[in-house]
A and B are shown apart, each in its own frame.
Chain A
Amino acid sequence: MRNTLAIAWREVRTYFTSPLAYVVISVFLVLSGYIFWASLVRFSELCLRFGSNPYFSSQLNVNDMVVRPLFGTMGIIFLLMIPAVTMRLLADEKRTGTAELLFTCPVTSGQVVLGKYLGASFLLLAMLAVTLSYPALIMNSGASPDAKATLIGYLGVLLMGLAFLSIGLLISATTDNQVVAAVGTFGALLMLWVIDWMSESATVTLASVLNTLSAGLWEKVGWGLGGPTLGELLSKISIIEHSQGFRKGLFDTQHLVFYVSVIFTALFVTQRILESRRWR
């Protein structure tokens, strides 16, 4: 535990002694702040124009029109910024030779992975914590957002960011070049983001895909060709799909389980990659 925290703390220090943390946090704040402000201005304009109309004013909801778009925006900014946060983590250790220090200290590779992950998570938390001020700003105005729905939205964004970090860490472990790590992470995250675009058109069932792959063996065994389609599977692994509910303020454990599984799997594979040094 002490090792993990020492590694995490060193990581946090490095983020904040280099310009990286400040650049990432300020760019994130400027972008999300601007979008929050823009939707707030638009919302108040709509309120002014239609507030007197009882039908329209029932449609005007600060959660739907201001807070929810904010979470969507944060997701997109994460997609662009997380690769910059994670690219250094393991790639740089290998390039500069400090990996040799870590792996000749009485530290397990699991502790290294967890320490790195916690360090990066701290940066993510710091970024998100500052944005809590946006909804707090309008808390006491007439357009007070629903606190519970807002917090659930935050939980969703946080989980998505944490999942992104774990994937970034995994890719950082596979290379000793930071640019390769960043580009690879961005590609992987974007792929997971858009993977459900096929969900409507991929109507072929999984069973028949497996049947083709096994040269008809699947059908002969009598497992049948029905069941879920490929598109359904793709929409289930889309990382954005699982955040929709959170944004609406709905808490569903299946989405929580999805993110936690992604994080756990990615960290586990990262640990195995570090250990694979021993097989060579």
Chain B
Amino acid sequence: MLEVAEISKVYGGRTVVDRVSFSVSKGEILGFLGPNGAGKTTTMRILTGYVPPTAGMAKVAGFDVQDQPLEVKRRIGYLPEHPPLYRDMLVRPYLQFVASIRGVPRKQVPSRVDRAIERCGLTSVGGRLIGNLSKGFQQRVGLAQAILHEPDVLILDEPTVGLDPAQIREIRHLIKSFGGEHTVILSTHILAEVTATCTRVLIINEGKIAAEDTLERLAARGERTRRLALRLARPGDGAEAALQALPGILRAQAEDGVPGGFLVEMQEGQDGREAVASLCVSRGWGLIEMRPITLSLEEIFIRIIQGEAA
């Protein structure tokens, strides 16, 4: 549905997007995750045809963004970071205007507008001035504007920014409901957003793709841990040294502030848990807890951004 090959964007000598490639298939919800200024917005603007890439090629539904921009634009719905609203218009006429410039057939305009208003929960504000609406409602009008013409690809730039928790939940629910029939790309710098809505995540940092995976596989990375937390009832003297001497154990260290607590680091590719357990039992240290330290998605994200292997 969407294919991006080696796109780059240079603004005045500064490379904002650096040879980014990815593809999204129909019905997927792709999360675009990265810190502020990572190049998320620029990448999305390239996909929507708002700015041209300096190099590389992007295709939406088989149409090149550069060569057939109108065909591409017909197939996408786009919610920019700041919802593009005419503050001096009423909600319904605004949506009617967008519907007609998005190429919705004249006869279908009223029904499409009604449907978008209903889906985005705007029924109560249809006749109000956009400029007088709260931030949450404005964001929803922005979303309604993007889904009006039932686009194949929906591109949402930070769709939940500035909303209260209840509104965030509603919007996420709405986005999830688009998956399956539409392809959705959403950008965010909030990890929870990705976990809540996306099927696949693409982490971007300093204009480059830092990681690309499904959520399960990304979470699994955290479980492939090399560290153990150990708790002993009666650790004898020299427990640290004895643990460290075991095959497959890199380092063992008493944990500060936890009586009988140890942190054990295993060698890459070796599982030393069995050896540790039998040692503790044979020495009569009283093994009361042994648990692998897994990384939360948050920690994985931070590590990836910082360029460490998770």
Contacts and interface: CB of A to CB of B under 8 A. Distances in A.
Interface of A: 2-3, 6-7, 9-10, 13-14, 17-18, 96-108, 277-278, 280
B73 interface: yes
Contact of B51 (A3, A102, A277): A277
Contacts of B106: 2
Nearest to A107: B101
B220 interface: no
- Identify which of A17, A96, A97, A104 gathers the most chain B CB atoms within 10 Å of its CB: A104
Contact of A13 (B76, B80, B93, B145): B93
A96 B145 CA distance: 16
Contacts of B102: 105-106
Interface of B: 11, 45, 48-52, 70-71, 73-74, 76, 78, 80, 82-89, 93, 97-98, 100-103, 106, 145
Given A13-B89, A98-B85, A106 B70 contact: yes
Contact of A104 (B52, B76, B86): B76
Nearest to A88: B88
Nearest to B44: A104
Complex A-B, nearest 7 residue pairs according to Cβ-Cβ distance, in ascending order = A101-B84, A6-B100, A106-B73, A104-B48, A98-B84, A97-B82, A106-B74
29 contacts: A2-B100, A6-B101, A7-B101, A10-B86, A10-B89, A14-B86, A14-B88, A17-B88, A96-B85, A97-B82, A97-B84, A98-B85, A100-B50, A101-B84, A101-B98, A102-B101, A104-B73, A104-B76, A104-B78, A104-B80, A105-B101, A106-B70, A106-B71, A106-B73, A106-B101, A106-B103, A108-B70, A278-B52, A280-B11
Nearest to B97: A10
A107 B102 CA distance: 8
Contacts of A104: 48-50, 73, 76, 78, 80
Chain A interface helix/strand/loop/mixed: helix
Nearest to A105: B101
B126 to A, nearest CB: 16
A8 B17 CA distance: 36
B80 A97 contact: yes
A14 B80 contact: no
Given A101-B80, A106-B74, A108-B70, 6 more contacts: A9-B97, A13-B89, A97-B84, A101-B78, A105-B73, A105-B102
Contacts of B51: 277-278, 280
Contacts of A100: 45, 50, 78, 80, 84
Contact of B98 (A103, A105, A280): A105
Nearest to B47: A104
Contacts of A277: 51
Nearest to B49: A104
Given A2-B100, A97-B80, A17 B50 contact: no
Contacts of B78: 100-101, 104
A84 B172 CA distance: 43
A9 B94 CA distance: 11
Contacts of A13: 89, 93
A102 B48 CA distance: 11
B300 to A, nearest CB: 33
A178 to B, nearest CB: 13
A271 B71 CA distance: 20
Given A6-B100, A101-B98, A105-B73, A96 B84 contact: yes
Contacts of B70: 106, 108
